[in-house]
Amino acid sequence: MRITNNIISYNFLNSLNKALERQNEIQEQLADGKAIHRPSDDPIKTIRSLRFNTNLAMNEQFTQNVKDALSWLETTDGALSDLSSIVIRAKELTIEAVGPNPTEAFAAIAQEINGLIDHAVQVANTKIGDRYIFAGQKDKTTPFERRMVDPDPSVTGDEFEAVVYSGDINAISMRIYPGAINPQQDSVNVTGADVFGLTSVKENGQTIYIAKAFDQLLKIKAELEKPNPDVQWLSNQGMAWIDEIHTRILNAQTKIGTRMSMYEMAQNMLEQDNTTITGDISANEDLDMPKAIIDFKTSENVYRSALAVGARIMPASLVDFLK
């Protein structure tokens, strides 16, 4: 086979470029500690890395959902605790009212219960961020309003005071596992209907909903404001209503507590999964630094050797003979 000067030059330059490319590749890896920069570096590891990162992104989204859900549930639990305290105080006042009291005491008790109702309405309108926690999916609208209700404007004297509910009864779900949303598993809220109960009435031909618990407290207050309150009614019906309200609140709080426990367990699992996936990504993508340094030194020596050999084997030119 005839070897020409061009073949010698081509082979030398080709070998030199390969050595330089290898040195540049290792230098790029050493710069950021990553073994993969492009799919061609390692197709199998690239596919594996894509899968790991997809799983991590999904897991991180679920983890954030859990944090949001726990924040919502903790806020709800706090509001329900406040409502429970309000109802307990209303019961104490009603017990006090059924004892031997002068008229002025009834008025004072009615006034305090009136303040408790206002406070309960404020708690019922608790928000997290800009969302009302007891409004169902209509969580941008103030759900509870204490006002006068007029069933029929053409009839005089049929107005009554109530707390009107403007929310709905729909669940707010925050998904924490792959798959379709399960309202029973993924819901984080309790609605005004769950906590207070609802009854419907007509106002100007339109159906509106009033909170049953507030209606009961308002009737107890109204009885106490009478010149001669019916103590027997207060001790029987009034106390039964207060117990009913308290039971409803405690049931809602139990429901919230159960969901909080479920979300806390899910949070622990997701955090463990995040740690595992992050470790898998590191094992798949991170550079074996000691080995890379040795490889870099080796490639550097190969490159320098190629330069030295090239200086000897490259064909002499006419210039070399004119020196």
Domain residues of the chain, as ranges?
64-256
Pair of tokens at residue 91 = 């019961």
Q: Whole-model pTM?
A: 0.76
Radius of gyration (C-alpha) of the chain in whole angstroms: 38
Helix (H) or strand (E) holding 292, with range, is helix 289-313
Using an 8 Å Cβ cutoff, are 51 and 285 in contact?
no
- State residue 55's pLDDT score: 85
- State residue 320's pLDDT score: 52
What's the rounded Cα separation, in Å, for the pair 143 and 191? 10
Pair of tokens at residue 184 = 């029973």
Collect all residues with Cβ–Cβ distance below 8 Å to 69 and sequence separation of at least 6.
174, 176, 188, 259, 263
> pLDDT category, 124, cuts 50, 70, 90?
very high
1-10, 74-83, 132-141, 183-192, range with the lowest pLDDT: 1-10
- State residue 318's pLDDT score: 47
CA 187 to each of CA 64, 88, 212, 263, 266: distance values in angstroms, whole numbers, following the listed order: 15, 28, 24, 11, 14
φ, ψ for residue 56, nearest 5 deg? -65, -45
Arithmetic mean of pLDDT, 254-267 = 91
> pLDDT category, 38, cuts 50, 70, 90?
low
What's the rounded Cα separation, in Å, for the pair 314 and 146? 98
- The superfamily (CATH) of domain 64-256 is f41 fragment of flagellin, N-terminal domain (1.20.1330.10)
Percent of the chain with pLDDT over 90: 48
What's the rounded Cα separation, in Å, for the pair 284 and 36? 9
- State residue 49's pLDDT score: 76
Averaging pLDDT over each range in 95-104, 226-235, 240-249, which range is the top one? 240-249
pLDDT in tens, 289-307: 566 566 656 666 666 666 6
pLDDT in tens, 182-235: 766 778 999 999 999 999 999 888 999 999 999 999 999 999 999 889 999 999
Averaging pLDDT over each range in 36-40, 112-116, 147-151, which range is the top one? 112-116
Using an 8 Å Cβ cutoff, are 212 and 75 in contact?
no
Pair of tokens at residue 147 = 């006002």
Strands 206-211 and 144-149: unpaired
Using an 8 Å Cβ cutoff, are 197 and 212 in contact?
yes
Task: Look at residues 196, 129, 187, 186 and name the one whose alpha carbon lies nearest to residue 166.
Answer: 196
Strands (E), the chain: 127-128, 131-132, 144-149, 160-165, 198-203, 206-211
Q: Which residue has the higher pLDDT, 182 or 64?
A: 64
Q: Which residue has the higher pLDDT, 137 or 180?
A: 137
What's the rounded Cα separation, in Å, for the pair 290 and 296? 10
